[in-house]
């Protein structure tokens, strides 16, 4: 499988002791420290026969690792007092720690052990397999989760980005300790990860604590098959469901597209906030739903703008009609005031993110992997400020095409027929 190599030539001059794949931000005087490792392979890169392998490896990273058995690790996590988390996405897997500056050494040592030496003992693998089966059962029993998974298939069919991160009941049975050990070894190869640390830390100490990680090579991101928009409708009708859960998706742009600032503003005005059109129309004016929202899904290969809500079956036809009406109207009569309100809220949110070490790490890694540059809030602010109403209108007219959207509905039998 080919890989896209991230170009780090744009990175500002670094400390001599800091390896190329370590992004370090020192913030003197701060009490909190954030650290994380991002693996540049996610669930979509799993071979089809062992789908869910990366997710199960992620579960095992914080079960037992290094010299820590399960109880020792649990006590250490509690001692750190902040948040210790592992997660798997379609394109990346990660482990992150938030704690206080005086616990930096323990946190970084734990991070390295979790990345490099998770347990693959048969009993631990079997227990986490049972936990993952419970996750699959939970998704199958939750209409909101089911419709979210179905929307990906309605949009992208059988593409690896559209399959469940946690795999299936069938593929879970294939994930033996040996399979997982071999899969983990492939995940932690040189050029396969980025580390980020933010806080009142010593660059030399951080580099020393993380020296066992393969950070000497710039990261590469494996390629996936091209995306092809399907734009289908999936009806998941089921008995015993009190509400209709609906999702719409409109093919949008990849995460590296220079129009991302315009997409973020469009999303804010459409359904991300109290003053957004969908929330005001369906919730505040018509009372058809408790909540309605929109959000972008952005991958390296492409993405979509999503709209989601739930309502009573008798209100579903009206809610569907009003959602489509707002989607059409926004590309015609979006106002300068709406754009300015969206910009102001996004920029203030960015300023608040800059106060959070964990947000700084995430933003830095994302910017590096997608744009080969460190995150610079001044640059992002200029890009947002440069977006005009005409830019947002043009993007809305391009992507908000009801006839080409993908959709998924889960509700009582016959609910979706009313809008077919």
**Span 155-171, pLDDT tens digits:** 999 999 999 999 999 99
Q: Are residues 313 and 413 in the same domain?
A: yes
Strand partners, 33: 99
H or E segment and range at residue 382: helix 377-385
Q: Is 49 a member of any domain?
A: yes
DSSP assigned state of 280: I
Q: Are residues 121 and 251 in the same domain?
A: no
pLDDT per residue as tens digits for the range 299-334: 999 999 999 999 999 999 999 999 999 999 999 999
Q: Are residues 179 and 35 in the same domain?
A: yes
Query: Which residue reads 């206080």 in tokens?
Result: 100
| pLDDT at residue 12 tops 90 | no
Q: What is the pTM of this model?
A: 0.91
Q: Are residues 179 and 295 in the same domain?
A: no
Q: What residue numbers bound the domain in which 338 lies?
A: 233-419
Q: Would you put residue 402 in left (φ > 0), alpha (ψ -120 to 50) or beta?
A: alpha
**What's residue 14's pLDDT?**
54
Q: Are residues 252 and 389 in the same domain?
A: yes
% of the chain with per-residue pLDDT over 90: 88
State which of 222, 247, 271 marks the end of a domain. Answer: 222
Q: What average pLDDT is seen over the chain?
A: 93
**Rounded to an integer, what distance in angstroms lies between the CA atom of residue 278 and that of residue 284?**
9
**What's residue 347's pLDDT?**
96
Query: Which residue reads 């579960």 in tokens?
Result: 59
% of the chain with per-residue pLDDT over 70: 95
Q: Are residues 137 and 238 in the same domain?
A: no
Q: Is 281 a member of any domain?
A: yes
Q: What six digits make up the tokens of 343?
A: 């910009």
Cβ atoms 400, 252 nearer than 8 A? no
**Rounded to an integer, what distance in angstroms lies between the CA atom of residue 221 and that of residue 295?**
25
**Rounded to an integer, what distance in angstroms lies between the CA atom of residue 211 and that of residue 231?**
47
Alpha helices (runs of H) in 281-353, residue ranges in sequence order: 313-333, 336-353
Q: Is 228 a member of any domain?
A: no
**Rounded to an integer, what distance in angstroms lies between the CA atom of residue 43 and that of residue 129?**
16
Q: Is 227 a member of any domain?
A: no
Q: Are residues 39 and 104 in the same domain?
A: yes
Q: Are residues 143 and 8 in the same domain?
A: yes
Q: Are residues 238 and 174 in the same domain?
A: no
148 CB-near residues (< 8 Å, 6+ apart): 247, 308, 408
pLDDT per residue as tens digits for the range 20-53: 999 999 999 999 999 999 999 999 999 999 999 9
Q: Predicted confidence band at 412 (pLDDT cuts at 50, 70, 90)?
A: confident
State which of 188, 222, 256 marks the end of a domain. Answer: 222
**What's residue 413's pLDDT?**
80
Cβ atoms 222, 41 nearer than 8 A? yes
Q: Are residues 412 and 341 in the same domain?
A: yes
Contacts 24+ apart (CB under 8 A), 360-367: 360/25, 360/34, 360/198, 361/23, 361/25, 361/34, 361/35, 361/36, 361/96, 361/196, 361/197, 361/198, 362/36, 362/196, 364/23, 364/25, 364/196, 364/198, 365/23, 365/36, 365/38, 365/194, 365/196, 366/255
Task: From residue 310, give the alpha-carbon distance in Å to each of 317, 318, 334, 401.
Answer: 12, 12, 25, 22
For the chain, the domain total comes to 2
Alpha helices (runs of H) in 142-259, residue ranges in sequence order: 143-156, 169-172, 177-187, 203-209
**Rounded to an integer, what distance in angstroms lies between the CA atom of residue 254 and that of residue 299?**
6
Q: Are residues 197 and 324 in the same domain?
A: no
**Rounded to an integer, what distance in angstroms lies between the CA atom of residue 118 and that of residue 113?**
7
State which of 222, 254, 283 marks the end of a domain. Answer: 222
CATH, residue 163: 3.30.830.10
Alpha helices (runs of H) in 119-163, residue ranges in sequence order: 122-141, 143-156
Closest alpha carbon to 44 in 156, 180, 175: 156
Q: Are residues 119 and 202 in the same domain?
A: yes
The mean-pLDDT minimum among 28-37, 67-76, 238-247, 354-363 falls in: 238-247
Length of the chain, please?
A: 420
Query: Which residue reads 């492409």 in tokens?
Result: 302
């Amino acid at each position: 499988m080919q890989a896209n190599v991230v170009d780090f030539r744009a990175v500002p001059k670094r400390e001599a002791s800091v390896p190329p794949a370590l992004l370090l931000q020192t913030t003197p005087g701060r009490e909190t420290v954030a650290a994380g490792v991002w693996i540049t392979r996610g669930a979509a890169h799993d071979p089809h026969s062992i789908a869910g392998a990366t997710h199960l490896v992620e579960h095992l990273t914080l079960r037992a690792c290094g010299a820590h058995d399960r109880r020792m690790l649990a006590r250490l996590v509690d001692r750190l007092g902040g948040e210790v988390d592992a997660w798997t996405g379609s394109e990346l897997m990660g482990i992150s720690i938030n704690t206080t500056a005086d616990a930096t050494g323990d946190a970084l040592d734990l991070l390295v052990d979790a990345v490099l030496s998770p347990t693959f003992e048969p009993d631990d693998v079997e227990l986490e397999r049972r936990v993952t089966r419970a996750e699959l059962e939970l998704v199958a029993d939750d209409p909101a989760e089911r419709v979210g998974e179905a929307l990906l298939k309605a949009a992208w069919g059988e593409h690896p980005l559209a399959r469940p991160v946690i795999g299936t009941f069938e593929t879970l049975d294939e994930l033996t300790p040996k399979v997982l050990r071999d899969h983990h070894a492939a995940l932690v190869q040189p050029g396969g990860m980025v580390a980020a640390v933010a806080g009142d830390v010593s660059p030399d100490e951080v580099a020393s604590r993380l020296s066992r990680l393969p950070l000497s090579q710039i990261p590469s991101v494996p390629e996936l098959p091209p995306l092809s928009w399907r734009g289908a409708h999936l009806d998941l009708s089921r008995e015993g469901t009190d509400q209709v859960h609906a999702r719409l998706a409109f093919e949008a742009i990849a995460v590296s597209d220079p129009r991302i600032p315009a997409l973020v503003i469009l999303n804010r005005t459409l359904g991300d906030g109290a003053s957004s059109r969908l929330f005001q129309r369906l919730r505040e004016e018509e009372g058809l739903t408790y909540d309605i929202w929109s959000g972008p899904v952005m991958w390296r290969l492409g993405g979509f703008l999503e709209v989601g809500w739930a309502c009573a079956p008798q209100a579903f036809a009206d809610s569907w009609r009003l959602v489509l009406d707002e989607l059409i109207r926004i590309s015609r009569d979006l106002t300068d005031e709406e754009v300015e309100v969206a910009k102001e809220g996004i920029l203030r949110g960015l300023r608040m993110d800059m106060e959070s070490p964990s947000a700084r790490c995430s933003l830095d890694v994302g910017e590096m992997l997608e744009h080969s540059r460190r995150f610079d809030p001044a640059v992002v602010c200029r890009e947002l400020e440069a977006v005009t109403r005409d830019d947002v209108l043009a993007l809305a007219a391009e992507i908000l095409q009801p006839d080409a959207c993908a959709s998924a509905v889960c509700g009582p039998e016959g609910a979706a027929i009313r809008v077919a």
